[in-house]
Amino acid sequence: MNQEFINTFRDYQRFDNWFLGFNPLSKLNMFFALGLTAMIVKDWRYGFSLCLFYCLLAIIIGKSKSFFKTFGVLVVLFGLFTLIIRQFSVHGSIVLFSVFGLFNVTYEALINGLDMASSLLGFSGALVLFFITTEMRDLMHSLEKHGVSHTASYVILASFQTMKDLKKNMDTIFESQKARGIETEGNIKVRIKAFFPVLGPLILGAISSTEEKSIAMDARAFSAKCKHTFLRELKPVPAYEKAVVVLIDIFFAAVLGFKLYTMFVK
């Protein structure tokens, strides 16, 4: 047996770069605080600057492909959709241009839409970056270390893992159908016809997987009333990581305090 492989489970878990090695709760604190500042400020200049920071960070840590793939969908859903809706719901006096003579795009509606879209993207971008840089098993491990029930952590972890497994199994079934000459690609009608035959094997596979997991849990004494051990161990939070979290929390408190000051004092 490979001794080097065995030693990887005796030491603290190693990651590809410095940011991925941050404690999951530290990253949750940082991204949640930064995301909330976008919702508090509600200014398109700050919100889009924050989104640019997320993009640069994703590139630096080597997660640009997965981040841009998900974040691009959010830009279309939250960004463009919000801008269009605001043009109809916000009345403005400064007309910028007309669209096919049907309606006018006003300056006030545009700024209002940019402010709202940037706040939504600033918050959702933080969540996307958190989930693509954090393994759920590490997050649940950290929560258990802070007193969360192992049953609750398993339910959450199993829920996320089940979604991944269902997606993987569905892709496998579709590939099997293609190999048998069944049409799975084309217009919406063809895709719908190909989708329903997948449900049977997918549901049966999920039931079988649930039974296998329950047997594995019994074999590992999951319900035992004693202290549980962990296959993975995360390194203690270093001082520099704590300093970064504290600085971001101070920044969040300053932004919140300034917003309250402008609302109630002025």
State pLDDT tens for residues 82-99.
Answer: 888 887 787 777 777 777
Q: Taking 90 as the threshold, does the pLDDT of residue 215 lie above it?
A: no
Mutual angle of helices 107-133 and 44-60, in 10-degree steps? 30
Question: Is the pLDDT higher at 137 or at 156?
Answer: 137
What integer is the mean pLDDT of 99-112?
Answer: 77
Please report, to the nearest 10 degrees, the dihedral formed by the alpha carbons of residues 16, 18, 19, 20 taken in order: 30
Residue 32 confidence (pLDDT) above 90: yes
Domain layout of the chain by residue ranges: 16-134, 149-219
Confidence of residue 109 (pLDDT cuts 50, 70, 90): confident
Comparing 251 with 153, the larger pLDDT belongs to 251
Tell me if 259 sits within 8 A of 41, measured CB to CB.
yes
pLDDT of residue 172: 77
- Dihedral class, residue 242 (left if φ above 0, else alpha if ψ from -120 to 50, else beta): alpha
How many CB atoms sit inside 10 A of residue 232's CB?
Answer: 12
Whole-number Å distance between alpha carbons of 251 and 40: 12
Residues in the chain: 266
| Helix (H) and strand (E) counts in the chain | 10, 2
More confident of the two residues 240 and 155: 240
116 or 263, which is more confident: 116
Confirm if 261 and 46 have CB atoms less than 8 A apart.
no
pLDDT at 49 exceeding the cut of 90: yes
What's the whole-model pTM score?
A: 0.76
Confidence class for position 187, pLDDT limits 50, 70, 90? low
Query: What is the distance between the terminal CA atoms of the chain, rounded to a whole angstrom?
Result: 70
Q: What does the block give as tokens for 50?
A: 């924050």
Q: What was the pLDDT predicted at 56?
A: 95
With a pLDDT cut of 70, the percent of the chain lying above it is 77
**How far, in Å, CA of 134 to CA of 19, rounded?**
10
pLDDT higher than 80, residue 255: yes
Mean pLDDT check: name the lowest of 40-54, 105-119, 227-241: 227-241
Q: How confident is the model at residue 165 (pLDDT cuts 50, 70, 90)?
A: confident
